[in-house]
Structure 1
Amino acid sequence: MRVKVVCVGGGPAGLCLALLLKRQDPAHDITVHERDPEGSTYGWGVTYWRGLLDRLHAYDPETARAVEAHSVRWTDGIAHVGGLTTRHHGDEGFGIGRHRLLALLAARARALGVRLEYESAPARPPAGADLVVAADGIHSALRTRRAEHFGTRLTPGRNPYLWLGTTKVFDAFTFAFTETAHGWIWAYGYGYSGDHSTCVVECSPETFTGLGLDRTGTAESLALLEKLFARVLDGHPLVARPGASWGTFRTLTNRTWHDGNVVLLGDAAHTTHYSIGAGTTLALEDAMCLADALRAHPLPEALAVYERRRRTALLPAQSAARYSARWYENLPRYIHLPPHRMFALLGQRHSPLLPYVPPQLYYGLDKAAGRLEPLRRFKRWLGPRAARALHARTERPR
């Protein structure tokens, strides 16, 4: 059945949904509205893992091949803790510039016949559409107009962070922890092209104010951060986008994701802490799931099916994100371990057990679990249950 779809928001989620729906049925009438000019975007690079490429390949091999061809990859993680360094071999990860990803998705959507309208931001759901997709991010105007119905809730995090770029190209996913007179400050770095990397800097509120970062301008902040992370930057500068500023991450949830013919997608529906590097992956998976539901079910039912499936699929990621943010908020608990042990627990920061077990004991238990199948089964059993319990607590009305 031919449907008219209006997607508000030209980010990864909106563009991916548009091209998938047009690929399913070329007769569909699909328009994407994006408030910003074409080619402009916030952020630097985004990360993803092999599993996303495999899923995307099943839906649109051409898009999957293009994304992989324009990505950089790594298999190692490296942590610099003060003057010490440890390196671990891990799973294959990928980085791609956000601007490049959007350009690839937009080109594919256009080639399939999707209309893309830039510098266009409908304040109300456009009339005459069978389906209106709110893919306009955490500040979604369409969702905000119906905030009471959607039950939108924003939970602020604790630690200030700043999203930066650098011309230092990291050959591994890099963590750098630097001690100052006011506490620890740290950065996550990963390459996304042949000449740039993303560098996210984070610290506690006490370190933030102690270093004076709450009172300095962008140029002064960058100069201080370049000095603090000189060992890993190798003389390369840190770069900020115009208007970039420190903030605290806000976790967004909604009681429901659809209202009539309006449905939420990507960051308009949910956010997960940046420290697990899953935001873009989850947005694209939203698009794949909604495309599946619309192909298999009539509209009212399709939206309910989409929401139910994605809520269930998101539970492990949402749990991992909360525990990951908590790990960094409690960094002094782990930072004085030997670097290889600290790095091992950094890799285990998603565990619901870790906050409640002494770090040295947890490290020993985790090593044993790697050798004993009953302990591995227990960890696999506990994870989803802890995620569901945490979700129930956070979603409970207050």
Structure 2
Amino acid sequence: MRQVVVVGVHVKIAVVGGGPAGLYFSVLMKRQDPAHDITVYERNPEGSTYGWGVTYWAGLLDQLRAGDPESAAVVAAASVTWTDGLAIVRDERTVHRGGAGFGIGRRAVLGLLADRARELGVRVEYEHPVAGPEAPELADADLVVAADGVHSALREAHADHFGSTFTAGRNRYIWLGTTKVFDSFSFAFKETDHGWIWCYAYGFSGERSTCVVECSPETWSGLGLDTLGEAAGLALLEKVFHDLLDGHPLIGRGQADDAARWLTFRTLTNRVWHRGNLVLLGDAAHTTHYSIGAGTTLALEDALALAAALRAHPDRETALTAYGKERRSALVPAQSAARLSAQWYENLPRYMRLEPARMFALLGQRHSPLLPYVPPQLYYRLDRAAESLEPLRRLKRWLGPRVARAVHGRG
């Protein structure tokens, strides 16, 4: 197998996928050595993207500043922030004071990172699909980075080698936008004749917010959302969430066939993250449930870790092995939190008998491996007591990992 000396030797890098991870990795590698020959291939036109806004937390900005202060500065300047959480349960509002979170439009962050990459000398080629590992664009690359998303053609060509595993969630969800600008991370939980339906909403600019609507498959079909087109479905959801939206419309993707893009979340894991000179990055390597708001952060952290491994290890195989090992280990807490969070929402009726303030408190505790096995009212009382009693805090910290290992088989 041909090895590449990365430090001190100019290499040719092909990045397949112009999302945040692929673009940021190209920025980091150009900063390490401006002579690296780097091309990013993106199949979609410039400025076209799915989704509305993405979330992140203050710790990510610190990491971005260390990686590339210039791109960190423009990302921070284009972001909006919030400090509180708001929940509407049936018709009652409750507020939870919390730490600062940030939102930025997906189109904005892609544009900023692409501009920075080109400024450093990276070629970013839009409307340029790469069919697979044998594509001519990749033939003479020293390093091929599969940043082409959860449906990665590069990964799927060697799915057995990577050990790719998908786990499907139960609930249905849809990504929407709205002209209502939220100044807090907002939730609305509505009970219908067919069960509960809920919405997460957060601002990402001065003009728009993201709304993610979720429900069980029974509620989805009971409300007729399985047969309604996008326009009719949005009209129904606007009525359901009228007090959250304050008269503002919901915005869909505007498909030509009026199809509504309801999905079930698929969690992706891979046993190994590289094969020869091909390495996985971002959603091509892993996905975590959207309810923890960590997808973009984890993808950018992948880029930082891969660039650091290539800088630290002159031997390509050693670098890529170290990168995969580090990131798989680092992802364990996030993947556990995402799994528990998704399960909390899949079992939502269990918590909706609580008064709204208590339900909202347990919403914030949904990453706890203990919560599914303790009656909600009892868990709430124990959690409040643990805040003031050190022995209970120690017991909770001791029990949590042991329950997680017993349930999920983690050593």
TM-score class, shorter:
over 0.9
Partner of 2:99: 91
The answer to whether the Cα contact below 8 Å between 1:319 and 1:390 also exists between their aligned partners in 2 is no
SS of 1:54's equivalent in the other structure is helix
Q: Which amino acid aligns with 1:230?
A: H
Hey, what's the Cα distance between the residues in 2 that align with 1:180 and 1:168? 23
Is 1:316–1:387's contact at 8 Å kept on the other side of the alignment?
no
1:158 paired to 2:173? no
Q: Equivalent pairs: percent with the same residue?
A: 71
Kindly indicate whether residue 186 of structure 2 is the aligned counterpart of residue 201 of structure 1.
Answer: no
- Within 5 Å, give how 1:130-141 maps onto structure 2: 130-141=142-153
Distance 2:406 2:283 in 1: 23
State whether structure 2 residue 353 is matched by structure 1 residue 336. Answer: yes
Deviation at 1:124, TM superposition (A): 2.9
3-state SS of paired residue (1:248): coil
Conserved in 1, the CA contact under 8 Å of 2:369 and 2:401? Answer: no
Instruction: Identify unmatched segments of 5+ residues in structure 2.
Output: 1-8
Q: Deviations over 1:100-141 (max 9, x none)?
A: 000010011111111111111222331111110000000001
Matched, 1:274 2:286: no
Task: Tell me the TM-score normalised to structure 2 length.
Answer: 0.93
Task: Tell me the C-alpha RMSD between the 2 structures.
Answer: 1.4
The CA distance in 1 between the partners of 2:152 and 2:207, in whole Å, is 33
Counterpart CA distance in 2 for 1:377 and 1:300 is 42
Q: Name the residue aligned to 2:362.
A: 345
Matched positions, count: 394
Report the counterpart of residue 264 of structure 1 in structure 2. 280
* Counterpart pick for 1:306 among 298, 304, 323: 323
Residue 368 of structure 1 pairs with residue 405 of structure 2 = no
Q: Which stretches in structure 1 are left out of the alignment for 5+ residues?
A: none
Aligned partners of 1:315 and 1:387 also within 8 Å: no
Q: Is the alpha carbon distance of 1:86 and 1:358 closer, same or farther for their aligned partners in structure 2, counting shifts above 3 Å?
A: same
Tell me by how many angstroms 1:61 deviates: 1.1
**Does 1:8 pair with 2:25?**
no
Deviations 1:207-255 (A, max 9, x none): 0111011111111100000000001101100000134510100001112
Deviation at 1:152, TM superposition (A): 1.2
Partner Cα distance (1:39, 1:25) in 2:
28
How many Å separate the matches in 1 of 2:114 and 2:300? Answer: 14
Q: 2:302, 2:67 → 1: CA distance?
A: 13
Structure 2 CA distance for partners of 1:383 and 1:133, relative to 1, 3 Å: farther
Shift of the 256–187 alpha-carbon distance from structure 1 to 2, 3 Å rule, reads: same
Q: Deviations over 1:72-121 (max 9, x none)?
A: 00000000001111001101000000000000100111111111111112
Cα distance, 1:174 vs structure 2: 0.2
Shift of residue 365, structure 1, vs aligned partner: 1.1
Q: Structure 1 390/115 Cα, relative in aligned 2: closer, same or farther at 3 Å?
A: farther
Which of 261, 265, 271 is 1:249 aligned to?
265
Residues 239-277 of structure 1: CA distance to partner in whole angstroms, max 9, x if unpaired? 001345101000011121111100000000000000000
Distance (Å, rounded) in 2 between the aligned partners of 1:116 and 1:349: 40
| C-alpha contact (below 8 Å) 1:315/1:388 kept by paired residues | no
Structure 1 296/371 Cα, relative in aligned 2: closer, same or farther at 3 Å?
same
- Deviation digits for residues 357-389 of structure 1, max 9, x if unmatched? 010111111112211233334444555555566
State the secondary structure of the residue aligned to 2:265: strand
